[in-house]
Structure 1
Amino acid sequence: MTALSLASIATCCQQLLREFPSQVFVPGNSNYTAIETSYWSLQEAALQPACIVVPQSTQDVSRIVSLNSHHGCPFAVKGNTHAPAAGFANIEHGVTIDMTGLQSLSLNKDHSVIRIGGGANWLHVYAFLDQYSLAVAGGRNGLVGVGGLTLGGGISHYAAREGFTCDNVVKFELVTSSGVLEVDKSHELFRALKGGSNNFGIVTRFDLRTFAQGDLHISTSTNNISYFADVAKQFSKITDAKNFDPYTSLVTSVLLSGGSWSIGNSAVYTRPVENPIVFRDLLAIPSTKNSSSFQRPYIFANETNTPPLNWLFLTGTYGVSSELMVRMFNILNESLYNFDSGSGLAVWSLTFEPLPTKITNFGRGSNSLGVDENNSFNTTRNKAITDLARKIGTQFNTAADSMGLLRRFQYLNYADTSQHPIASYGPENVARLKAASRKYDHNGVFQKLVPGGFKLPW
């Protein structure tokens, strides 16, 4: 960073301190330290912004963006810190805008729409809606932020019923480089924001459709790795069913920890039905541990936060095949057999999630994701681990391609920095996103001054 740019950043922080004296924090301040240590990933926490500003209103956000734009100060937008990669929600030497001061929640008159402040997390939302026996198609982990998840698409337990989280937004309040916009279905940015991430502005309010929701039925099971072929067969059977059960939410993972593999299944049914038929054959596979219960959505989403760690995610989308799932596990297992992670302990996870057309059909033609018929995965840590993980991801794709099962779509919220999720939306969607950026951010503020996240491919 040049002396000139450092001087500009110092000017920005000084002016922000003058205008927002109780909302701006610099290194050495206890609030600055608390915000820095709140990050989910150590990669993000390692970055040291010149100052952190915590806006309390849309007008604050607009003024901060205007000031940074005027002085050419690089900045980052922080929600609830669940981005794994360095720079997605924090910045070295620049200005970090911490959105957690905007957490207001309210319902419209008939309770069909909830208005959510851009800095809220999903647990805030679910706890608020529970008193009305309502829910929204939001994140599965309540500690994840509303903003980042929604703008990247958003997968929920209700996806097969309601589509991606972004498909449930009826209006965005958006701060652009030139002012504040109300963006609904009549506005061309409405589609761009559904998958376009942080490329157009800062969303200060999300208005989402609500729906009636009672208890969830939760089943979990742990299997010995010797049963993986059986688990893969049942996972594929559920995912590839001609009439996919829309109340189904399933996550199946293989986990390597402490030198041994295990299989974990989280089978959620979004109606209060005991022992749902859809999961019976999967859960009948011999298990070392299992549980079953009914839970309120906000209770289930209240997960214990993990301590700050180094994280690496990679994502891919594939056709449904138990054979491919087994091949992927074998690739991972063989790649790790003689791998030495060094002094740090690495935990590896290969996670499968259904992405049936029931989900993708909701937003076809009205979001930017460009998904067709698909199916997903992810992973974890230091340079040797990062290099190996990316190599394994390439091998997964090669195996899938050889079987005619490789799909274009890369889910942005699970993607690694080496991947190009926005490009995976397809040329028509990318062209539409670029045109919207040129029109509403014609000086490229959110392309040039906000370096973090996945930028539009130029």
Structure 2
Amino acid sequence: MKFIWTVSVLSWASTGRAVELEVGTCCARLHQELGTKISFLGQPAYNATENSYWSLQEAGLKPGCILRPSVPQDVSRAVSIIAAIDGCNFAIKGQGHAPAAGFANIDGGVTIDMTGLNTTSLSPDRSVLSVGAGASWLQVYQYLDPFNVSVAGGRNGLVGVGGLTLGGGISHFSPRVGWACDNVVNFEVQVSFHWQFHGINADSKKVVLADGTLTNVNETWRSDLYRALKGGANNFGVVTRFDLGTLSQGNLSVSSFVNDISQRRPVLQAFTDIVSSPNFDVYASLVVGFLYNSSSKAWVISNSAVYTRPVLHPPVFAELAAVPSISNSSRIMSLVSLANEAPTPPLNWLFATATFQPSAEFMLEIFDILNSTLYSFNPQGGLVWDIAFEPLPSGMLSHATKTGGNVLGVQPEEGNSYIMLLSALWPDSASNLVVEKVSQQALFTIESRAKAKGLLRKFQYLNYAAWYQTPLASYGADNFEFLKRVSSKYDPFALFQNRVPGGFKLAKEGQL
């Protein structure tokens, strides 16, 4: 069967025809090698991938073709073909949660949709879960539920295993076991080039073969790459499988509190008291959020308080629960039920983040900054702002050393802190630039005030960062230089720096 496809790239004014030919050649080669695993514009498989993105920004990009691998070897074959054709760029997609355009999709290149790699299996002693990189966390929790074990994974079950873990990963279990990435005992990863020695030639020079390959990476084998992948995102290769350490887990206690915005002082004081406690309760998982609807000009406070033991009304949340509320509910439930959230409708999204030392007074100032910046801004169709605050306890950070370390750069001796996620959802794509500008203005003001008060932490959580932020550089100079060395070693021709343009790139952040 002969396939005809159309390539459309918005930014090819000067070199469009040449790049179009290269992408066409690349897609033709991939189709020849991988058959119906490659789909083209207008075909059902292509449309299914395009319709699966969380943000309209990502869904609006149109790849020249899409690969949906069913086994890891499909990824290996595809990367080898792509690498051999100059001008053929590609993107790597899991569940498509990242909102920024190009982070998991591409215009005119090749998108590798990993969601077919979702097989899960548990070791005989139930201590290690092996899961394909394209799985969702809900798939993982549904598989593990009968065994009374779990893993440190995403709180929203529709988020993907791959993206969350490679960016660090905050879990309900993180205070107890660390970041999601700290619980990876092995990665199966497609690296760009695997250097193998093949003896010594007549001139007494070592002969090597450069060959893309699937390899296992762990604490004893390629330990430098193992550490780099724990927070280093898509800078080193395509991870096809994660082997995750499990933990014993039954039902959870889940409380939800909704407060009028007039109660922000006692709510933020309760949050600060929990966050700043030197004896942070490792079973506590808390998100406190300001929600603002630009159409109704109404603020509300929403709190999700999860306790990872089946204990109703745990003492750690007592101060928060005592604040007068619009609604207040608590129940015991399974992780599967909690994580099975309804999908959001297709909308434009943005994320931005910052990390702070605990201070209830400064959190009140954050609200004042947000209110003064956002209150009069109401684009066509309206939008919803969601500003979430999440604890980052020092005890959580100590787990990194148990499995070879990570590159996130936050240390237990820095003390407890909290992460802010500033996000927005809106329907009208014509408002994208102005919404982003307003969000940047609010974030800049908040960070400036925090820095002046000595409350701003350098760390930017990659999974919450805006495209214009520099989370990799925020890990600190030593970690950033380490990441660059690992990139040079395992990706000597910079395939994942130059040919995978989406996401946070070492090469780009190193120039800023």
Pairwise same-fold verdict (TM > 0.5): yes
The aligned counterpart of 2:303 is 265
Cα distance in 1 for partners of 2:82, 2:31 equals 13
Question: Where does structure 2 lack aligned partners over 5 or more consecutive residues?
Answer: 1-11, 193-211, 427-431
Cα distance in 2 for partners of 1:320, 1:448 equals 39
Matched residue SS, 1:311: strand
The aligned counterpart of 1:132 is 147
Cα distance in 1 for partners of 2:244, 2:462 equals 20
Tell me if structure 2 keeps the 8 A contact 1:47–1:86: yes
RMSD: 1.0
The aligned counterpart of 2:267 is 231
Aligned length: 457
Runs of 4+ in 1 over 3 A off after TM superposition: none
- 1:54-453 pair list within 5 angstroms: 54-72=68-86, 73-177=88-192, 178-186=212-220, 187=222, 188-257=224-293, 258-339=296-377, 341-363=378-400, 366-372=405-411, 373=414, 374-377=417-420, 378-380=422-424, 382-453=432-503
Tell me if structure 2 keeps the 8 A contact 1:116–1:125: yes
Tell me if structure 1 keeps the 8 A contact 2:191–2:236: yes
- 1:23-38 pair list within 5 angstroms: 23-38=37-52
Matched residue SS, 2:350: coil
Cα distance in 2 for partners of 1:418, 1:125 equals 32
Cα distance in 2 for partners of 1:169, 1:428 equals 22
Q: CA deviation at 1:179?
A: 1.2
Paired amino acid for 1:66: S
The aligned counterpart of 2:200 is none
Cα distance in 2 for partners of 1:114, 1:454 equals 28
Paired amino acid for 1:309: L
1:35-93: CA deviation from partner (whole Å, max 9, x where unpaired):
11111000000000000011111111001011001002100001001011000000000
1:410-434: CA deviation from partner (whole Å, max 9, x where unpaired):
0000000110000000010001100
Tell me if structure 2 keeps the 8 A contact 1:142–1:301: yes
Q: CA deviation at 1:346?
A: 1.2
1:158-202: CA deviation from partner (whole Å, max 9, x where unpaired):
010010000000000000112111100122101000000000000
Cα distance in 2 for partners of 1:393, 1:107 equals 43
1:123-143: CA deviation from partner (whole Å, max 9, x where unpaired):
011011111001000000000
Identify which of 15, 18, 25 aligns with 1:11. 25
Paired amino acid for 1:241: S
Tell me if structure 2 keeps the 8 A contact 1:329–1:350: no
Identity, in percent, stands at 50
Q: Which has the larger radius of gyration?
A: 2
Matched residue SS, 2:348: coil
The aligned counterpart of 2:208 is none
Cα distance in 2 for partners of 1:274, 1:290 equals 13
Q: CA deviation at 1:337?
A: 2.7
Matched residue SS, 1:103: coil
State the TM-score, normalizing by the size of structure 1: 0.98
Cα distance in 1 for partners of 2:317, 2:165 equals 28
Tell me if structure 1 keeps the 8 A contact 2:297–2:375: no
Cα distance in 2 for partners of 1:309, 1:126 equals 27
Cα distance in 2 for partners of 1:403, 1:203 equals 41
Paired amino acid for 1:307: P
Greater shift, 355-364 or 273-282, is seen at 355-364
Q: CA deviation at 1:342?
A: 2.4
Matched residue SS, 1:20: helix
Cα distance in 2 for partners of 1:348, 1:103 equals 33
Q: CA deviation at 1:402?
A: 1.8
Paired amino acid for 2:214: V
Cα distance in 2 for partners of 1:118, 1:291 equals 35
Paired amino acid for 2:335: P
Question: Where does structure 1 lack aligned partners over 5 or more consecutive residues?
Answer: none
1:86-141: CA deviation from partner (whole Å, max 9, x where unpaired):
00000000000000111111111211000001111100110111110010000000
